[in-house]
Amino acid sequence: MARMLYELRTYTVHPGKMTPLLARFRDPICDLLQQHGVNNVGYWTNAIGGRDDQLIYMVSFEDLAQREAAWASFGADPEWHRVRAETEADGRLVQYRENRILTPTDFSPLR
């Protein structure tokens, strides 16, 4: 069985910008990502430990080539540019972004 490639992304938001960022992902970004081949795995905020100004999420891809094509397609989408401009009219939402590309071990339940 082929193993998927997972991308773990952590967004640290500017003060007071978590609610708008969560709203942007909820509608329409999650659906828009999926349309471009970015498979939504899960979205989290820290409940205990960690920082309260972070959105952590995981997406998956078939391989690096599919990842690059999916992000390029999403990045070129006029709807993404419209939503970003609209939601950042009062300033950027994300202060810092960290990405990790993960591959599951042979004993991982997530493959």
Rounded to whole angstroms, how far apart are CA atoms 17 and 46?
A: 15
- Confidence (pLDDT) at 111: 76
Rounded to whole angstroms, how far apart are CA atoms 60 and 103?
A: 10
pTM equals 0.92
Backbone angles phi, psi at 99, to 5 degrees: -120, 140
Q: What is the mean pLDDT of residues 67-86?
A: 97
- Confidence (pLDDT) at 42: 97
Q: What is the mean pLDDT of residues 4-29?
A: 96
Q: Is pLDDT at 7 greater than 60 in this prediction? A: yes
27-67: per-residue pLDDT in tens?
Answer: 999 999 999 999 999 999 999 999 999 999 999 999 999 99
Backbone angles phi, psi at 91, to 5 degrees: 120, 160
Q: What is the mean pLDDT of residues 59-83?
A: 97
- Confidence (pLDDT) at 1: 54
- Confidence (pLDDT) at 3: 77
Domains in the chain and their CATH numbers? Answer: 5-102 (3.30.70.100)
What single-letter DSSP state applies at residue 10? E
Structure tokens at 100: 């990790």
